[in-house]
């Protein structure tokens, strides 16, 4: 395209953590501009938020319904190209469906919906409309995660035998939801978060990362799900045994009551010839351990990396690239895909390298299967979608 893509934002108003992250990520590569928004369910806050972002009054809408309908009636060159939905889980489905119905592409936070049924409806709508949906599993945007995926896909490690993924946080070790913490309040409320807390919030990230890097699909699981903090309605801790479609086995740990932990997402994958390790809190390094050779450390920004890693790197080696850059990689690849499609061109494999609606369905299936397994005495549950 000969212009930036125009983004309409739903949610993400004043004092919203993730809205600001989205705006920074969208702006990083100069491909996207904030065009309009319905930043809050409260019209007054929405207008105030838009004003702080230097939008005109006409582009600060009272509701997402008003924004979608009004923008859809404008000439193509004057209206938004896609919507980004940065609301809690319960407020994902309706605006996403409405946006697709009115011809707009969608970028949406995870988990994609409140239930698996909603996710399947959204998947069908995407396929029926031919539009594009990007799901913000941020950690798949890191260059060294993409390098790991490429090495596994190229069979560098041989047949994959074991996957170990853990996501350890400590911020919900106390009842912060009772102290007015907004992030804790909605994440521990079944009406807003769905049937799961920890496993929905961060367990889905761990599951997606395991499948993304390994190229495998979870086929069975056995879950131990816990509500550790007294009085909490949803799970805040869990352990899951996994089986994959090539016969490999795995372990997934997700907890938000590991006191002292910050954002400890780590993964290890082992094949016949070697293994790899990646740690989100040291994201520029990928450790490779060989069966019959010395350990290697691959680093972001070096010429020996794959094109998937290099095309998602912005700075020379030695300059840290982190969470914001990984988030921006999702926006960049999504924007390049939309631009290519608008010009009648086929997007490249690197452009299409972002989580899709299908990942969203698998994420919701993971949540429902894990919670069902955790409530049952049955050892293994088939991964049902």
The tens place of each residue's pLDDT in the chain, 385 residues long, gives 789 999 999 999 998 889 999 999 999 999 999 999 999 999 999 999 999 999 999 999 999 999 999 999 999 999 999 999 999 999 999 999 999 999 999 999 999 999 999 999 999 999 999 999 999 999 999 999 999 999 999 999 999 999 999 999 999 999 999 998 989 999 999 999 999 999 999 999 999 999 999 999 999 999 999 999 999 999 999 999 999 999 999 999 999 999 999 999 999 999 999 999 999 999 999 999 999 999 999 999 999 999 999 999 999 999 999 999 999 999 999 999 999 999 999 999 999 999 999 999 999 999 999 999 999 999 999 999 9
Q: Can you give the pTM of this predicted structure?
A: 0.96
- List the end-to-end C-alpha distance of the chain, in Å, as a whole number: 37
Helix 357-374 and helix 204-214, axial crossing angle in degrees, nearest 10 = 120
pLDDT of residue 16: 87
Q: Which of 160, 188, 159, 158 is nearest to 172 (CA)?
A: 188
Q: Which of 307, 288, 349 is nearest to 158 (CA)?
A: 288
Q: Provide the greatest CA pair distance for the chain.
A: 65
Where are the CATH 3.40.50.720 domain residues in the chain? 5-136
CA distance 67 to 130: 22
CA distances from 221 to 33, 203, 235, 338, 367 (A): 42, 13, 17, 36, 11
How would you classify the pairing of strands 160-168 and 274-279?
unpaired
For tokens 């993304």, what's the residue?
212
Q: Which of 276, 261, 247 is nearest to 165 (CA)?
A: 276
Residues 135 and 110: beta-carbon distance below 8 Å: yes
pLDDT of residue 371: 98
Chosen CATH of 5-136 out of 2.60.120.560, 3.40.190.10, 3.40.50.720, 3.65.10.10: 3.40.50.720
Where are the CATH 3.30.360.10 domain residues in the chain? 143-315+362-382
CA distances from 305 to 228, 269, 288, 291, 330 (A): 42, 19, 13, 21, 19
User: Can you tell me whether residue 236 is helix, strand or coil?
Assistant: coil
> Strand (E) positions, the chain?
5-10, 32-38, 82-85, 105-108, 133-135, 160-168, 218-226, 237-244, 249-255, 264-271, 274-279, 285-290, 296-299, 381-382
pLDDT of residue 29: 97
Beta bridge partners of 221: 242, 381
pLDDT of residue 246: 98
Chosen CATH of 143-315+362-382 out of 3.50.50.60, 3.40.190.10, 1.20.58.1290, 3.30.360.10: 3.30.360.10
pLDDT of residue 17: 87
């Amino acid at each position: 395209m000969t212009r930036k893509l125009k983004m309409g934002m739903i949610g993400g108003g004043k004092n919203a953590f993730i809205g600001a992250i989205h705006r920074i990520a969208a702006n990083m590569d100069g491909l996207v501009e904030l065009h309009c928004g319905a930043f809050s369910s409260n019209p007054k806050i929405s207008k105030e938020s838009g004003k702080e972002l230097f939008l005109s009054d006409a582009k600060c809408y009272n509701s997402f319904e008003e924004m979608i309908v009004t923008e859809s009636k404008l000439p193509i060159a004057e209206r938004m190209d896609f919507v980004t939905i940065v609301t809690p889980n319960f407020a994902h489905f309706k605006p996403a469906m409405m946006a697709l119905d009115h011809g707009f592409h969608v970028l949406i936070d995870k988990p994609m919906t409140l239930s698996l049924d909603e996710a399947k409806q959204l998947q069908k709508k995407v396929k029926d409309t031919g539009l594009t949906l990007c799901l913000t599993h941020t950690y798949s945007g890191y260059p060294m995660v993409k390098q790991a995926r490429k090495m596994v896909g190229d069979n560098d490690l041989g047949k994959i035998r074991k996957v170990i993924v853990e996501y350890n946080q400590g911020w919900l070790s106390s009842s912060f939801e009772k102290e007015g913490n907004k992030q804790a309040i909605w994440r521990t409320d079944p009406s807003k978060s769905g049937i799961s807390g920890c496993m929905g919030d961060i367990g889905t990230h761990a599951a997606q990362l395991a499948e993304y890097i390994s190229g495998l699909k979870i086929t069975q699981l056995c879950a131990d799900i816990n509500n550790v903090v007294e009085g909490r309605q949803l799970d805040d801790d869990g352990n899951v045994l996994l089986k994959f479609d090539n016969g490999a086995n795995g372990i997934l740990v997700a907890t938000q009551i590991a006191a002292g932990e910050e954002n400890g997402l780590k993964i290890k994958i082992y094949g016949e010839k070697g293994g790899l390790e990646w740690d989100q809190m040291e994201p520029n390094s990928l450790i490779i351990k060989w069966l019959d050779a010395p350990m290697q450390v691959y680093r972001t920004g070096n010429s020996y990396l794959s094109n998937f890693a290099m095309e998602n790197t912005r700075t020379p080696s030695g300059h840290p690239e982190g969470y914001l850059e990984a988030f921006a990689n999702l926006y960049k690849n999504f924007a390049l895909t939309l631009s290519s499609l608008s010009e009648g061109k086929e997007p490249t494999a690197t452009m299409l390298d972002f989580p899709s609606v299908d990942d969203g369905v698998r994420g919701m299936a993971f949540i429902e299967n894990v919670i069902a397994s955790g409530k049952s005495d049955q050892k293994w549950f088939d991964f049902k979608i």
